[in-house]
Each structure stands twice: as structure tokens, then as C-alpha cells.
Amino acid sequence: MKKTLLIAAALACSGAVAQEKQIWACQEIMSGQGFVYKDGAWAATSFARENYLITVDGLNSKYGSNGQQFSTNCEEGFFATPHIRCSDATGGTVLLNPTTKLAVISEGLGGIRTGENRDTVSIRLLQCTKF
């Protein structure tokens, strides 16, 4: 019995306790804002509103819209406000406040690429519902 309690306490203290899988459906509150690169220059633009699905499941997390899903890594944080932060290798970042149910999705890697192989840079504000 003592060993079981010690193991449980060690896991809780080490942060090794599994995080609950969460699924969030999100609607964009206003048109996304950002920049597109064309004709050798950046131009400010607005993007059409999209609905997003965010699955928070540690290293198996994903997010996306319009049938596209991007793998990401999510973890909980408590700097200034409780939130979930997800980031992926393509420059995408998801910040989600489970209390207010607001999220921000940004895509930024395209902004630091060189030449004509640049991609859009965007930020989107979302209102989410947890399933």
C-alpha cells in the first residue's frame, strides 16, 4: 500500500500524469488578418472566416479547418492566465483559454522564408466550445 501511494505521489509531482484528451470546435469571431507575399512585396490582407477543430492530446494533438489537420504538440500553461499552448514544426501556434473559451491561431513561418517561396502570415481570433 505504501509503495502504491509513493508511486502515485511521484507521478503527480513529476507531471507524468496523463493529460485528458480535449476536442474543441471553434468559430472565427472576425475575418483573419495577415499578410500575403506577391510580386516581390508583402501586402496586408483579410482572410475569409473559417471554423476550426482543435484536438488537445499532448504529442498527438492536431488542429485545422476545411478538412485539413496539422499535427501539433499541446501543453497546459499558467503564465498570467490558464491556457493551452500548441505549436508545430510549420510555424503554427494555437493559444486556447479553457475558461473564456477564446483561442488565437497564428501562422508565421512563411514570414521568415526567403525568395518567392514565402507563405501567408496570419492570425485568427476564435470562440470555442468543448465537446
Every domain of the chain and the residues it spans = 19-130
Portion of the chain with pLDDT greater than 70, in percent: 84
C-alpha 4/C-alpha 27 separation (Å) is 44
Instruction: Give the CATH class of 19-130.
Output: mainly beta
Lowest-pLDDT range of 9-13, 30-34, 95-99:
9-13
Average pLDDT over residues 83-101: 92
Instruction: For the full predicted model, state whether its pTM sits above 0.85.
Output: no
| Residue 124: how many other CB atoms lie within 10 Å | 23
Give the pLDDT band (50/70/90) at residue 71. Answer: very high
